[in-house]
Amino acid sequence: MKSERAMRHSGKAKVKRRLRYQVAMTLDGFIAGPNGEYDWIVPDSAVDFGALYKEFDIAVMGRKTYEIGIAQAGSVAMPGIEVIVFSQSLPAGSINGARIVNDDPRTVVSALKEKNGRDIWLFGGGDLFRYLLDAGLVDTVEVAVNPVLIGSGIPLLPPGPAAKLVMSDVKRLPASGMVVLAYSVAGSKGAAPAIHYVKE
């Protein structure tokens, strides 16, 4: 019998597709600097980004995350992943490696989760995370905690209702001092996967 992971990757999964908030964070709780900077992220060769990308076939993000990506990298395209940007101010259409939609993220994500395929990467930012978490649509919170303190910036999660998490896996990366954590959101139907993209 195929494992759940293999079934997801084959596109024939019978289990519910997960929405996974997969993000890097500073030790003091920020996912970006005050102006969206992410130059504080510590490189570590143990992180296999190719393997990470293969766990997803869709990534969703908010307008601010999209605009930061365009300003700093010129594109938000990811290999093998469809990128969807939620915005009420940008015109709908495809541009810069992404598909911009003006529909309610709750409606779009709910429909995506009912389709077969790999998991959905909630790429950012914190406001979209809060909105979808409050709607009960986020299944996992997976954080790569970097050994950096930046003092201010964009928080992992804006203020709002509490949510309980259940630990699924943890990996410590001695070379960089990074710690990768995987949690399921309590009550979600999609348990967090093991951290397969960290080489040991």
Query: Is there a contact between 18 and 139 (Cβ–Cβ < 8 Å)?
Result: yes
H or E segment and range at residue 146: strand 140-146
- Nearest partner of 188 among 15, 10, 7, judged by Cα: 15
- What sections of 61-142 are H helices per DSSP? 63-73, 105-113, 126-134
| The CATH number, out of the four listed (3.40.430.10, 3.90.1170.50, 3.30.365.10, 3.40.190.10), of the domain defined by the range 19-35+43-176 | 3.40.430.10
Q: What is the pTM of this model?
A: 0.90
Domain boundaries, the chain: 19-35+43-176
* pLDDT, position 73: 86
Segment-wise mean pLDDT, segments of 10 residues, the chain, 200 residues: 47 71 97 93 95 96 93 90 96 93 97 96 95 97 98 96 96 97 91 90
Question: CA-to-CA distance for 100 and 56, rounded, in angstroms?
Answer: 19
